Amino acid sequence: MTISPQEAGRVVEARSVSKSYGPVRALHEVSITVRPGAVHALVGENGAGKSTLAKVLAGIEPPSSGAISLGGVPYVPRDRAEAKRRGVNMVPQQLSLVGELSLVENYLVVGSRPFVNRRSARSLLAATLDRARVEVDLDAPTASLTHSHRQLGEIVVALAEGAHTLILDEPTASLGPLEVGGLFEHLRSLCELGTAIVLITHRLDEVRQVADDLTVLSHGLEVHHGSATGLRPTEIARLMVGELPELAPRAARTRGAVTLRAEAVVAQSTRDARLDGVDLAVHAGEVVGLAGVAGSGQNLLLDVLAGFVPPRSGTVTLEGSRTVTITGSRASTAAAERGGATASTLRAAGLAWIPEDRRDAVVPTMSLRENLAVYSSSRGRRADARSRPQGSDDVSAPADRLAAFDVRPPRPELLAAGLSGGNQQKLLAARELGAAKTPNAVLAYGPTQGLDLRAAQAIRERLVDLAADGAAVLVASHDLEEVLGVADRVVVMFGGRIVADLPIAEATTERLGRAMAGLPADDTPRPAISEEPAP
């Protein structure tokens, strides 16, 4: 790839950049060159310093030492706004679009223009969309767009703001494989227009798919930089974590009776998702993977199974020390109230819960100890205290439990808000999966999201161990790899229904991808990868 003189003025080059937070050294003497018209993959474990480096480049955090230049001129952004003016912009992992507003309105509310003109803003965005060959509805509230469209919308807003260097923090974390393919096509066409893209990712196959350049960070040190082509994922993984632990061989487990069952469940969430007659049985001792593109209803199914959303009709049953049954009812408010009661009944019957958004389950203003022990607070002073066997819920050694799940730092008195996202995820797993008593059933949505390879593998092994101890485990994820890495059987949802149910041996990426896109299982030609699957 040749670089024109104009593009040479936009090369972002960081040299020997370090960043310390007090005694913690997040980055140490890291150098990176981001060139226009190329995708630069930035990979590394949790806490390797990827996000810190991205924040330094985007002006969100100043470096402790080192120098950054933009097109050969020193580049020392005071804040994010200045970095934006210089053309470097970051799209955070948690998208910043305001859901109630359309893309045009979102564009109008960001930035520091003294006057705004809706019509000119709209035409500017439309031109940007056209240039990037993206089709996104500019006038619909962004909350009504699919996740991948919101992602693209955020990118388009950044481009319209004049960004020539885009930093994307794990943009594929919640996209299905087809959506990822679509996003990558758009990224490539942006590159052809001369945009530089820094792609932070955990998924190593993405590096091979889309990246031109590669920087690998490990514990704040840069351990590799160079061309991304010709590197195999296993080589990159070895660079990241040193020696990658082997996947534990799948021990044959005996499948027991059905523990968790949904029968003809029809439900409607307050948002767009719905369930349209779902039948699902999860047996004791098996791990069932639940795949589907965003908005197919997996989320709602888990909410129904956890007792948060009452089904309109159909039943949910959890077999345990006692049997809990939720029956659908049309009396919505009364049912909603009962729904609340059932969430705690199900938990008491041994249902562990890891939600898609860890912020639903981790209380940042509470200490790690309190977060671990939060369910003890639901114990009444009367009946439960007597009936509960001693030490059934092991909260006596929170430090040990934190250490067992590799929560860093494993200090029980620390506030959960002080943990990084990945460590909050580990904390959540420690609470839900780390109790001394094996849960009867586990509902987990993306249990390893935001975790590095080693931590993700530890959680996977824990899930499999729980199944071996007799738990019925249901793992849902946008990330097919996460599902395939742990499941004995894969169930695919599309449009509120279960459209495929395959044993792991038959669950090829090809077949699952077709089911997730809502295509029949025969051998009709595959759609072009850039096509958006219908939600």
Partner 1 sequence: MRLVRALDRRRWVLTGAVVVSIILIAGALIVFAGADPLLGLQGLVDGVSSSPYRIGEVLVGAVPIGIVALTLIPALRAGVFSVGAEGQIVVGAIFATAAVFAVNRMLDGGAPALLLWVAGFVAGAVGGGLMALLPAFLTVRWRVNEILSTLLLNYLAAGFLGWTLRTWLATDAETATPQSDELPDAASLPSLIPGTRAHWGVLLVVVLAVVFLVWQRSAASTRLSVFASRPKLALRLGATRSRTVYSTMLVSGLGAGVVGWIQVAGVNDRLLSSVSGGVGFSGIAVALLGALAPIGIVAAALFFSALSAGAVGMQSATGTVPSSIAEVIKGVLLMGVACIAAYQRQPAAVVAPAEPVVADAPDGPDAPGPIATAEAEEARA
Footprint of partner 1 on this chain (CB under 8 A)? 21-22, 92, 94, 96, 306-308, 333, 337, 339-341, 343-344, 346-347, 353, 355, 359-367, 369-370, 373-381, 395-396, 398, 413-415, 417-418
Closest distance to partner 1 from the beta carbon of 325 (Å)? 18
| β-strand pairing of 65-70 with 472-476 | unpaired
Nearer to partner 1, 247 or 341 (CB): 341
Contact 18, 29 (CB under 8 A): yes
Reported as type and span, the H/E element at residue 317 is: strand 313-318
Nearer to partner 1, 272 or 384 (CB): 384
Closest distance to partner 1 from the beta carbon of 341 (Å)? 6
* Contacts for 408 with CB less than 8 Å, ≥ 6 apart: 47, 419, 423
Nearer to partner 1, 2 or 392 (CB): 392
Nearer to partner 1, 167 or 228 (CB): 167
Closest distance to partner 1 from the beta carbon of 298 (Å)? 16
Question: What's the CA gap between 134 and 155, in Å, rounded?
Answer: 10
The structure tokens 């798919």 sit at 209
Nearer to partner 1, 62 or 233 (CB): 62
Nearer to partner 1, 99 or 242 (CB): 99
Closest distance to partner 1 from the beta carbon of 516 (Å)? 26
Closest distance to partner 1 from the beta carbon of 269 (Å)? 13
Q: Indicate if the alpha-carbon torsion angle 303, 305, 308, 314 is positive or negative.
A: positive
Question: What's the CA gap between 283 and 170, in Å, rounded?
Answer: 34
Cis link prior to 311 (omega < 30° from 0)? no
Closest distance to partner 1 from the beta carbon of 378 (Å)? 4
Q: Alpha helices, DSSP H only, in 220-296?
A: 233-241
Nearer to partner 1, 296 or 423 (CB): 423
Closest distance to partner 1 from the beta carbon of 401 (Å)? 12
With residues binned 3-state (H G I as helix, E B as strand, rest as coil), the percentages for the chain, rounded to 5, are 35, 25, 40
Q: Indicate if the alpha-carbon torsion angle 96, 98, 102, 105 is positive or negative.
A: negative
Other Cβ atoms less than 10 A from the Cβ of 326: the count is 26
